């Protein structure tokens, strides 16, 4: 399916399903950014990770642990009965959608370069690395 068509379907959906589990606690996928931009409630089946934190922080949906069958059933029911849509109160999205993440990453890189440049060649700290 062409990406513009997929994005249009996301914007028209009653809710969006995000599955985010596994060992990588700090990984945030582009899919989450797409979902935030779609401005639709998110049902996240997720470990306690960065995606779960962002969904809670931005009030863009509900997070359910992958092994909590009862909570998942309730979350699915909330999609059907309108509770999920009623609780959708997005805030602070600008921090998580481009270009903000790219700017934040660039600032971190620039700060690292500046710190590195302040370490004079031949200094004790420089020799410790060598």
Q: Are residues 12 and 74 in the same domain?
A: yes
Confidence of residue 127 (pLDDT cuts 50, 70, 90): low
State the SS3 of 66-111.
CCCHHHHHHHHHHHHHCHHHHCCCCCCHHHCCCCHHHHHHHHHHHH
* Per-residue model confidence as pLDDT tens digits over 57-68: 999 999 999 999
38 plus 73 within the same structural domain: yes
pLDDT digits (tens, 9 = 90+) for 7-38: 999 999 999 999 988 766 666 778 888 999 89
pTM above 0.75? no
Q: Please indicate, yes or no, whether residues 73 and 128 belong to a single structural domain of this protein.
A: no
Structural domain total, the chain: 2
Domain with 56 in it: 3-96
């Amino acid at each position: 399916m062409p990406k513009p068509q997929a994005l249009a379907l996301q914007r028209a959906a009653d809710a969006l399903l995000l599955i985010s589990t596994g060992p990588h606690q700090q990984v945030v996928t582009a899919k989450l950014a797409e979902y935030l931009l779609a401005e639709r409630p998110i049902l996240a089946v997720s470990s306690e990770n960065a995606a779960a934190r962002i969904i809670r922080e931005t009030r863009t949906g509900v997070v359910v642990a992958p092994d909590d069958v009862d909570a998942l059933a309730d979350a699915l029911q909330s999609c059907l009965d309108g509770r999920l849509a009623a609780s959708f109160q997005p805030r602070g999205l600008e921090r998580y959608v481009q270009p903000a993440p790219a700017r934040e990453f660039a600032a971190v890189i620039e700060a690292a370069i500046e710190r590195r440049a302040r370490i004079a060649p031949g200094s004790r700290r420089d020799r410790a690395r060598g």
